[in-house]
Amino acid sequence: MNPFQRIPIFHMASLARSGETLVQKYLSAHSKIHICHNLYKDDSPKEIALFEHLMTRKSRSIGVRHPMARHLKSKKGDALVIKQGVWNHPHPFNGFVLARNPLSVFASLWTYDIKERGGSPELNWVYNIERMKRWLGKMDVTLLERFDHLSPEQQFSAFYNQRTDHLASLGLKILRYEDLFVDPEKWLSEACSAMGLAYESQMADAHLMFKDRKEGHGGTDLSRPLDNRSLGKYQDVLSEEQVRLVAAETGQTASKMGYSLDA
């Protein structure tokens, strides 16, 4: 191994609860892609240290012998992918934008804590307030001044709009989560192309790599084949009024990612 060899760093710039773990699962099946962190339920100390280092790193590459990256055992031609979902990176970076329609993102947050804590979405929303405040502290602190006085729908919409406006301004390739289910090979090929890599056929069957049903980040079942059950989930968990409110608040911003919420 060349001790001076460097591997490029690519960001999957997104917004929390936009399907990042699912995408990371499929990217991880590529022979040359290393996932920085948040693929599995628990991160190792080395993964956490690397992630925290990359959060503020200016360089778009890292040495294979760098103390933070040595555990990757990377080689020439490899690539490192970091999930950037809860902060605005302070320096220009390479990669792509992962988008998801705001109704699905809100529905995911609305029901996120029920499995672990029980209770209702309304009672559990306080935990999402804590999360979004923490995330906004790394994005736009001015929103925090009025955040507590907003409804859950308004709080989420303010967070979604801030983050999505920023992502749309980056000039990076935008890949919509929903399109992955329409044509996985095309979608993954475009993601690979954004990183200068060729698509590998085993990526579409990434779930086969996790036959032991290893739990992924956010409770994701990594062994589950690709299916479209998540696409219409918001229709089952949100009221018509919630759909109307979120669509009205986020529609203009979502259109920058190619979504139409008129319906």
Instruction: Give a yes or no: residue 1 inside a domain.
Output: no
Instruction: Give a yes or no: residue 121 inside a domain.
Output: yes
Considering the domain architecture, whether residues 146 and 192 belong to the same structural domain is answered as no
Beta strands, E only, 20-150:
33-35, 61-63, 79-84, 94-99
d(CA 55, CA 38): 14
pLDDT of the residue at 1: 56
DSSP 87: S
Q: What is the pTM of this model?
A: 0.94
pLDDT per residue of the chain (263 residues) written in tens, 0 to 9: 566 799 999 999 999 999 999 999 999 999 999 999 999 989 999 999 999 999 999 999 999 999 999 999 999 999 999 999 999 999 999 999 999 999 999 999 999 999 889 999 999 999 999 999 999 999 989 889 889 999 999 999 999 999 999 999 999 999 999 999 999 999 999 999 999 999 999 999 999 998 877 888 888 889 999 988 888 889 999 999 999 999 999 999 999 999 998 75
160: containing domain: 102-170+229-257
Q: How far apart are the first and last CA of the chain?
A: 55
- H/E run at residue 154: helix 152-168
Instruction: Please state the domain count of the chain.
Output: 2
Considering the domain architecture, whether residues 67 and 26 belong to the same structural domain is answered as yes
Considering the domain architecture, whether residues 144 and 233 belong to the same structural domain is answered as yes
Considering the domain architecture, whether residues 151 and 240 belong to the same structural domain is answered as yes
pLDDT of the residue at 219: 82
Instruction: Give a yes or no: residue 161 inside a domain.
Output: yes
Considering the domain architecture, whether residues 148 and 249 belong to the same structural domain is answered as yes
Instruction: Give a yes or no: residue 57 inside a domain.
Output: yes
pLDDT of the residue at 236: 93
Instruction: Give a yes or no: residue 80 inside a domain.
Output: yes
Instruction: Give a yes or no: residue 59 inside a domain.
Output: yes
Considering the domain architecture, whether residues 21 and 94 belong to the same structural domain is answered as yes
Residue 170: other Cβ atoms inside 10 A: 17
86 CB-near residues (< 8 Å, 6+ apart): 16, 134, 135, 138, 139
Considering the domain architecture, whether residues 75 and 129 belong to the same structural domain is answered as no
Considering the domain architecture, whether residues 117 and 24 belong to the same structural domain is answered as no
Triad 176, 178, 182: Cα angle to 5°: 115
Instruction: Give a yes or no: residue 263 inside a domain.
Output: no
Considering the domain architecture, whether residues 58 and 120 belong to the same structural domain is answered as no
- H/E run at residue 13: strand 6-13
Considering the domain architecture, whether residues 13 and 124 belong to the same structural domain is answered as no
pLDDT of the residue at 228: 85
Considering the domain architecture, whether residues 234 and 207 belong to the same structural domain is answered as no
Considering the domain architecture, whether residues 73 and 16 belong to the same structural domain is answered as yes
Instruction: Give a yes or no: residue 26 inside a domain.
Output: yes
